[in-house]
Amino acid sequence: MRTPSTIPFSELIRKIPYVPTDEIPRNKIRTLMIHNGLRCENIHSATIPQRWTLSLIQAVLIVTLSTSFVMGVNIGGPNVYNSFIVPWARGYPFPCQKDDETAQWIAQVWWNCDYRKTSLFNKTGYYYLPTTPIDKQVWERFTDAIHTICFVSGGTVGGFTAKYWYKYLTRRNAIVPCMIYQLIASILMIIPLYIYHGYTRGDPDRKTIRDTFEYKEIAIGLFYISRFLSGLSAGMSCVVTTIYLMDISPRAMRGNIMTFHQLFIVVGVLVGQIIGVPWLFGQHDKWNWGMAWVGLFSLTGCFLIWTLPESPRWLVQERERNEAAVSLRHLRRSNLIEAELEEIERQEASATTQELSFYTMCSSTRFRWPLITSVALNAIQQLSGINTIFFYSHEILSALGFVKDRFYWSVISTGLINLVATVVTLKLVESIGRRPLILCSLGIITFIMVLLCIFIQTYLSIAALILMLIFIAVFALGLGPIAFVYPNEVFTIDMRPAALSISISANWLCNTLVTVFFPVLSSIFQGYVFLIFCVWCLLAFVLLWYKMPETKRKKLSQIQAFW
């Protein structure tokens, strides 16, 4: 028989009937605690709900605005500038309007191309590009997507290498390289259009045109390097930002706070689309500024990051308990943080300090299924086909007949739906849970892909647009945020950087594969290409149905018991 002094605090609290938090009789709890020799300061951990504080809000906003938001702009912006980027990178004059006789004269003299006879009209008010023979169109679609391929390739490298920054930097300081990469990328993005600006209105002679194209290769090279660095920053931010947000989150608010990473990506996508409209930066001589301005957020973040507290979990891992207590007090705005600190210490005590390889993690029964499900969740986030909408909606909507203002409003509507659905997810992720949202999301997307294939093939443009918007909303309710939340919840503190790097690398690798092959496959299979995404979603649904546990408000030991 146990003596009263050995009764755990958690068991003692369970003896008291449940009532709303603010109505718990504290004097009764305090009497029982004193009788059993427990510390009275822990009463606040049991009776005060975990909530937002000014310090926590500040930390979340600074980190997500300088990394997640920037990533979103880099995803959403280039899509609306493709009608300028593609001709510029190919070396043709900028798209010219019907009444621009000088541009047509330059094309005829310099490229031996008569726009009025051999050019495609891209339905947005501009002559687009000279007609390409059918046998060369597949390769041309691939080369036109090189700047997007550079971005997602950089993301793959950034996701894989992010874990190595933790060997030299703290959890907070590891965010700084993301901002520096993006700052350099923004500077490089400004330069190309000034050293190789192609055609502008006027009456240039052959020498002027020849001098203009002298620096073409250098300009395009700088543009591709800039996109790669932006991708490197984005890939790293998916790891370092989510880990930092996880470390500073109270357990009851973990899902909500982690969702802010995806929320600000979505906000960035929408802002990038809005900035790219013709009356702002969507012009042939301004599109580079539409992609470079976001570097201001990275520059600001480089200074504001030092005002944030260090990760209390990392400090505990480094055996700096006093500093961890200071960090927690700052984040919680309370001196009563002993219970949370002790919970972190217990988790750290159960963690291994050994650095495990990918093979060891897969072969170990302890890490195998957490890693496999994390990788599968991040892979299917991209293999669902979401970025075909955000990277190639320009081509898809133009092919469906959306022109001029209808086209731009259609693109912006995808960003608006994405934002609204992600805001709704902030509530659902903690009320419904992770597993139901993921499985429902995958099931609905599988059905939508079949219908989308049919509607695109039959040129039902309005129906196809509605399905695209539903697809985006369903994705934002499940696959969008939870793919970043889940890996942080199923691994111990020490394993989290390595495991998350592997998961995010899988995310960006699949993103790269989709980006590279979608233009080619869509040229061959047309609308039937969406059936490929349907198959991937179905396979992921089966795997996650059997092997993905619910992680909502659960301790790591409870989650691992599922496997």
Tens of pLDDT along 322-359?
888 888 888 888 777 788 888 778 777 666 555 566 66
Q: Are 64 and 297 in contact (CB under 8 A)?
A: no
Burial track 346-378 (b if 16+ CB lie within 10 A, e otherwise): ebbeebeeeebeeeebeeeeebebbbebbbbbb
Q: What CA–CA distance (Å, rounded) separates 501 from 241?
A: 12
Give me the phi and psi of 331, to 5 degrees please: -70, -40
Q: What is the pLDDT of residues 517-557, one digit of tens each?
A: 887 787 777 778 888 889 999 999 999 999 888 888 777 77
Half-sphere exposure in the Cβ direction for 506 (13 Å, CA): 21
Distances (CA, A) of 435 to 377, 380, 442, 477: 11, 15, 11, 12
CB count in 10 Å sphere of residue 237: 31
Give me the phi and psi of 39, to 5 degrees please: -80, 130
Q: What is the dihedral of CA 429, 439, 516, 155, to 10 degrees?
A: 30
At 189 the pLDDT is 93
At 377 the pLDDT is 92
pLDDT, averaged across the chain: 77
Transcribe 320-331 into DSSP letters: -HHHHHHHHHHH
How buried is residue 83: exposed, middle or buried, by Cβ count under 10 Å (0-12/13-18/19+)?
buried
User: In which band, very low, low, confident or very high, does the pLDDT at 206 lie, cut at 50, 70 and 90?
Assistant: low
Instruction: Return the closest-CA partner of residue 453 out of 393, 528, 536.
Output: 528
Cβ-Cβ contacts under 8 Å for 118 (sequence gap 6 or more):
130, 131
Higher pLDDT, 61 or 129: 61
User: In which band, very low, low, confident or very high, does the pLDDT at 62 lie, cut at 50, 70 and 90?
Assistant: very high
Long-range contacts of 128-132 (CB under 8 A, 24+ apart): 128/83, 128/87, 128/95, 129/86, 129/87, 129/90, 129/92, 129/95, 130/92
Structure tokens belonging to residue 508 = 């960006």
Instruction: Return the closest-CA partner of residue 531 out of 356, 384, 338.
Output: 384
Cβ-Cβ contacts under 8 Å for 148 (sequence gap 6 or more):
78, 227, 391, 515
Q: What CA–CA distance (Å, rounded) separates 355 from 159?
A: 18
At 443 the pLDDT is 92
Structure tokens belonging to residue 344 = 């972190």
Higher pLDDT, 519 or 490: 490
Instruction: Return the closest-CA partner of residue 494 out of 300, 383, 304, 354.
Output: 354
- Gyration radius from the chain CA atoms: 26
Extents of the domains making up the chain: 4-47, 54-308+360-560, 309-350
At 37 the pLDDT is 47
Higher pLDDT, 453 or 234: 234
Q: Are 440 and 478 in contact (CB under 8 A)?
A: yes
Q: What CA–CA distance (Å, rounded) separates 497 from 239?
A: 7
Higher pLDDT, 105 or 539: 539
Region 488-515: mean pLDDT is 82
Q: Are 140 and 92 in contact (CB under 8 A)?
A: no
Structure tokens belonging to residue 398 = 């133009």
CA angle 430, 431, 435 (to 5 degrees): 75
Q: What CA–CA distance (Å, rounded) separates 19 from 28?
A: 13
Transcribe 43-87 into DSSP letters: HHHHHSPP---HHHHHHHHHHIIIIIHHHHHHHHHHHHHHHHHHH
SS3 304: helix
Distance of CA 325 to the CA centre of its chain: 31
At 202 the pLDDT is 47
Judge whether residue 136 has pLDDT over 50: yes
Q: Give 96's strand partners.
A: 127
Q: What is the pLDDT of residues 213-226, one digit of tens each?
A: 677 888 889 999 99
Judge whether residue 297 has pLDDT over 90: yes
Cβ-Cβ contacts under 8 Å for 27 (sequence gap 6 or more):
none
Q: What CA–CA distance (Å, rounded) separates 88 from 126?
A: 14
Judge whether residue 15 has pLDDT over 50: no
In the chain, what percentage of residues exceed pLDDT 90? 20
CATH code for the part of the protein at 54-308+360-560: 1.20.1250.20
The residue assigned the tokens 């691994």 is 491
Q: What CA–CA distance (Å, rounded) separates 145 from 519?
A: 8
